[in-house]
Amino acid sequence: MTFNDIFKSGFMENVSSVSVVDMAAALLLAFGLGMFIFFVYKKTFSGVMYSSGFGVTLIALTMITTVVILAVTSNVVLSLGMVGALSIVRFRTAIKEPLDIAFLFWSIAAGIVLAAGMLPLAVFGSLFIGIVLLVFVNRKPHLNPYIVVIGCEGHESERQALEFLKGRVQRCVVKSKTAQKGMVELNLEIRMKEDNTDFINELAAMDGINSAVLVSYSGEYMG
């Protein structure tokens, strides 16, 4: 058989199409995996505003990818046309959370592996990925870094504030310091020992401390 024989109508008539049973089974499994991905996304979401539409997109993306791969694997000519069609598609939606990219790629990969007939890999791979995300993303809040902004009146109050913080938190590192006449502003990165922020109230009540602010810190932004 030559390369030209592939595109003859006689060859295309002999290409076996996907059966209804295979289509139904693949779509049901894709829906199940999409729901599991949606569940993990909902449990691990740590952004500012939760979007249920993005979760539904993960389910739809898993099923759509499964349908596309089933069609591609059953028809050679269609696979070439699909490559050309997808090459002109442009996705311009901004991804604000880096973890959202992982969920999008997870949905696409699950649909591809499922449609390729590797059911154990699709199921057990998704379970393993979901467990890893649940363990590492859902850490205790006090283990995450925080930024403390302190306004002091002078060197002595600055020293007292640092000694107080080092005794109350697990880790304390000075990130920046601004000194002016009669005022010193400190930005410190801390790791709390427990989920209790009462020490900020005690710090603000100390003599020589004008203000004390505690904010969450992700490494890229504060909020």
Whether pTM exceeds 0.75: no
State what percent of residues in the chain have pLDDT above 70: 74
DSSP letters for 81-130: HHHHHHTT--------SHHHHHHHHHHHHHHHHHHTT-HHHHHHHHHHHH
Domains of the chain: 11-137 (no CATH), 141-216 (3.30.70.260)
Residue 166, amino acid = K
**Residue-wise pLDDT tens digits, 24-45:** 888 999 999 999 999 999 888 8
**Phi (first) and psi of residue 144, to 5 degrees:** -75, 150
DSSP state of 220: S
Q: Are the beta carbons of 177 and 168 closer than 8 angstroms?
A: no
pLDDT for the residue numbered 174: 86
**Residue-wise pLDDT tens digits, 166-222:** 888 888 888 888 888 878 888 888 888 877 888 888 888 888 888 888 887 655 444
